[in-house]
Chain A
């Protein structure tokens, strides 16, 4: 432990703790724009500089570990003046149309300028308007808002190992762009949106579908159905000031009904369906021994990552569509049929913790119903904005239920929203499918939590099934390289089943989550999903009564021909230069 004084207050912190975090422990907040609790500090903004007695010059608090016996000063007159000037320099370069900015009231730069009491900017305006990159289906980049803090490039390169965003040019002309300046839509970007959730300002945000959804809702000829991803029910509360992880399922249904969705359904239903289809696939592959390990396909960020960097793993991928797309295919077929609505009248909207879902819904193969299966995707942030615009406070909502047919779900479905959840849900059902009886302990602890790559071995009637779970592009890459090596050198992998999610923490850490997120919040959301799982009557997907009805009335049996047409998909080989499709596999 290191003992020191910060502004004459004694602090004791573990060795290696930066002055920035040590000061927070002493209840002093040193301002910063580039540091983030989950990232390695890069020292770009310089705003966190502090004075240390006996050490010449100023030190960046974010990247200076506190030393034994140091006397640190964080808010001297000189430091306060320097900070004001640095922020003024940033503002001289920044597009300060705050009122029309997507981050208005959620912007770290805006908040800092207010905290430091900056009323005027002494320097010349250096601002030059650059074109906004709208090439991506999922993410918009506005270089005029960018302060070059380096968080987006760090998450893209280090956390996700995608390297779609990088620093280009130098000095005053420095910009962050995708390769060859061709735009994010023509890059290897996997649309995960981790850059978006880490951006301190309004330089990165989702490609909004709000207007189109309002148009659909206000069109009397349209029947607008809505589905909500598992993770959304533990995230939406944050948009209304609730504690991270607050479970708001019933309030969410009520609010969505009030803003005019014609049917409020639930992605959790199709999550259960995914388990039946994918679980059946797993059981059949375990029996034949072919194309093992089976790898999950729920995360559209992971899918594009795999198609771009690991397309040799395509035979190992589950062909099951993601829950969003299964839902979409059923909404315009089964649901339309059962409710007697013409499918062309149905507008299918999904609410997702994810930006990549916006890319997924417009993939050319996602038209099994004869129409685009899912028309619009709203992030958690977007639905928050819509509800506020409609004058609805989630806090005041009663608890309601989802509509029938595509609304019922089990505990297995709800844990899809966190890393390890799909794996656990699949094992609960696969065990039943293989052994013909239920798993004794329903909670599979080794696949839970935020540890890097998680592994477990489950004994299914003497068959030892080795599984692994990875969350984030970086961990997925490590795991896939290991599997590739094993397949190449030994002809087979030690794993039978692998779950991959593109975002750290799984969907609760998705690119569509509320601003100002960090790993601690992601963890609380995940815990909340496990709590909901425990509270539900049915906790195994194969126990979902509506799923049974669906198979009886419509699909026949799992992995049937009709299932395959509607619920399964195929993948492409993509270019590592521009992410374009090179070949269909």
Chain B
């Protein structure tokens, strides 16, 4: 057996591929070969490191040195300096290492070790190799569940953990499973909602790209708990790399007998099919997603009946978000009380946030529930870019809420934000500095909703069209005083009467933008 001296991880995601990661990877492998180091240095593809806008990113282990903006021209120097001579190439080291707080597992000085439940393996293992996942205790949780727990015990443990859905609605996962388990019917389904369409959110993509087996294992456990033998992953069609990795992972799991009939020689059988979405925002809503899975137009269904009793093809169906399912293996492996050691009492565990906008280091972080917005922006995302002042944040995606400067110390969890009429939503945080025009922000949200309304119900279809008319008029400096009242009036009707959460949720960005930035917006009308 070869003893590998160094592992070079190359981050392969949409962003790094665009930046030329494939060319860098080839140059790296070629150069290592040319230097005769092939036996000692292993090059591994990994998922996203969690940093964006840093070009091609490499990580060299065991030192844990992060390089950014690497080009093929840098490779000969990098290989010679670092891999041959052992001297890190200073000019390429990432100056601000978001990853130090984000991904790296090592303790870093005074900071306490960051909890990594969902992203435990992302950026660490090769997501295309099941053995690496297994080496990180992968598939131990499903083995534990099958061999030593009844489905009811799995549900009980999940309930006790306090895990709630990470897609935005924050429904207790164990309860959802319990409803589906108890629902009449011998055919049941597990559907993973990977149709991540909330603007500015890409947490699920990075889980899928970085650690697809975790999702598979989460679905297996859900299937075992509920009594389902078939799972579907409904995934955004644009997520080409996620789809490729997930398909590979499913094929490997089948090879290992971890998917298919009689898993681990038990009576439990389960398999997964990946289905691609066509890019409609509304298909992130669970009933519209189910319609789409059935091959129909993505329109929401009336609830009740809820999917847990009548879902896919009218069978009891659990629809869980990627991040929710990715939490499950760790909960089963380490127990509910371990999980409750993270986060707050009412909202245990961690949350993966995507931070974008005017911050120094945009990217992906996993932090404990209840971490303040201030910490997230200043501790993890490096503060506001170019030393500007924080003006506000849009939290939870387009269907989320604007928060003003006085909300910096709000604790970011599902329960607490509710008290401030805000939502955690999908966990997207769009940070805005002092130069941002809030009317423009609101305008882009309204345009987004008009574009994505499915057209099924009157309030959403025509309400969004009217809202856009009004905001465009204000934006063109032709707004009248009562236009702002009209925005609110329409949003209220939409909130009260829209058929599904898409139309209902638009009231939140409108009302919150007026709450925190009302003066600025009012100053734009006559």
Contacts and interface: CB of A to CB of B under 8 A. Distances in A.
Nearest to A166: B297
A171 B457 contact: no
A91 to B, nearest CB: 10
A180 interface: no
Contact of B493 (A82, A147, A170): A82
A45 B499 CA distance: 9
A282 interface: no
Given A85-B489, A86-B493, A86-B497, A170 B280 contact: yes
B466 A124 contact: yes
What interface size band does chain B fall in?
20 to 34
7 contacts: A85-B493, A86-B459, A89-B463, A124-B466, A126-B466, A170-B280, A170-B454
A313 B470 CA distance: 58
Most chain B beta-carbon neighbours within 10 Å: one of A63, A85, A124, A171: A171
B302 A43 contact: yes
B377 to A, nearest CB: 33
A478 to B, nearest CB: 19
A393 to B, nearest CB: 39
B457 A43 contact: yes
Contact of B457 (A45, A58, A82, A85): A45
Interface string A146-182: 0110100000000000000011011111100000000
Contacts of B120: none
Q: How big is the A interface, by class?
A: 20 to 34
A135 interface: no
Given A85-B493, A86-B497, A172 B469 contact: no
Contact of B459 (A89, A147, A166): A89
Interface string B441-454: 00000000011111
B455 interface: yes
B402 to A, nearest CB: 23
B324 interface: no
Given A43-B499, A126-B465, A172-B450, A86 B455 contact: no
A122 interface: yes
Nearest to A42: B456
Nearest to A51: B496
Contacts, number: 98
A110 interface: no
B461 interface: yes
B458 A90 contact: yes
Nearest to A33: B458
Contact of B455 (A57, A92, A167): A167
Contact of A58 (B451, B456, B497): B497
A24 to B, nearest CB: 20
Contacts of B462: 89-90, 92-93, 126, 172
Given A58-B496, A172-B464, 5 more contacts: A86-B459, A90-B462, A150-B456, A167-B297, A172-B465
A123 interface: yes
Contact of A171 (B454, B490, B493): B454
A166 B466 CA distance: 25
A193 interface: no
A378 to B, nearest CB: 35
A362 interface: no
The B contact surface, by secondary structure, is: helix
A44 interface: yes
B497 A82 contact: yes
Interface string A33-53: 000000001111111010000
B144 interface: no
Given A44-B457, A46-B457, A173-B455, A82 B469 contact: no
A174 B489 CA distance: 23
Interface string B482-509: 0000100110010011110000000000
A169 B299 CA distance: 12
A46 B466 contact: no
Contacts of B299: 167
A57 to B, nearest CB: 7
Contacts of B450: 171-172
A46 B453 CA distance: 15
B471 to A, nearest CB: 12
Nearest to A49: B497
B489 A171 contact: no
Interface of A: 41-47, 49, 57-58, 60, 63, 82, 85-86, 89-90, 92-93, 122-124, 126, 147-148, 150, 166-167, 169-174
A60 B458 CA distance: 13
Nearest to A175: B455
A170 B450 CA distance: 9
Contacts of A122: 486
Interface in B459-481: 459-466, 469-470
Interface of B: 280, 282, 297, 299, 302, 450-466, 469-470, 486, 489-490, 493, 496-499
A89 B464 CA distance: 10
A41 B452 CA distance: 23
A122 B469 CA distance: 13
Q: Give the residue among A43, A148, A166 with the most B Cβ atoms within 10 A.
A: A43
A150 B499 CA distance: 14
Contacts of A86: 458-459, 493, 497
A282 to B, nearest CB: 41
Contacts of A169: 455
A171 B459 contact: no
B496 A49 contact: yes
Contacts of B486: 122-123
A188 to B, nearest CB: 18
Contacts of A174: 454-455, 461
Contacts of B463: 89
B458 A46 contact: yes
Contacts of B489: 85
A92 B462 CA distance: 8
A89 B458 contact: yes
A47 B455 CA distance: 16
B443 to A, nearest CB: 16
Contacts of A126: 462, 465-466, 469
A122 B490 CA distance: 11
Nearest to B282: A170
Contacts of B457: 43-46
Contacts of A171: 450-455, 460-461, 464-465
A174 B450 CA distance: 11
A45 B458 contact: yes
Contacts of B280: 170
Contacts of A148: 455, 458, 461
A148 B461 CA distance: 10
A265 to B, nearest CB: 48
A392 to B, nearest CB: 40
Contact of A46 (B452, B459, B464): B459
B454 to A, nearest CB: 5
Nearest to A89: B462
B497 A46 contact: yes
Nearest to B460: A171
A171 B497 CA distance: 16
Contacts of B282: 170
Given A124-B469, A170-B453, A82 B496 contact: yes
Closest 9 CB pairs of A and B: A174-B455, A171-B453, A46-B497, A172-B465, A89-B462, A170-B455, A124-B469, A171-B455, A85-B493
A46 B302 contact: no
From B453, B461, B463, B490, name the one whose CB has the most chain A CB atoms within 10 angstroms.
B461
Contacts of B499: 43-44, 46
A173 B461 CA distance: 9
Contact of B461 (A60, A82, A85, A172): A172
A113 to B, nearest CB: 14
Contacts of A46: 457-459, 497-499
A92 B490 CA distance: 13
A561 to B, nearest CB: 51
A170 B453 CA distance: 7
A171 B452 CA distance: 6
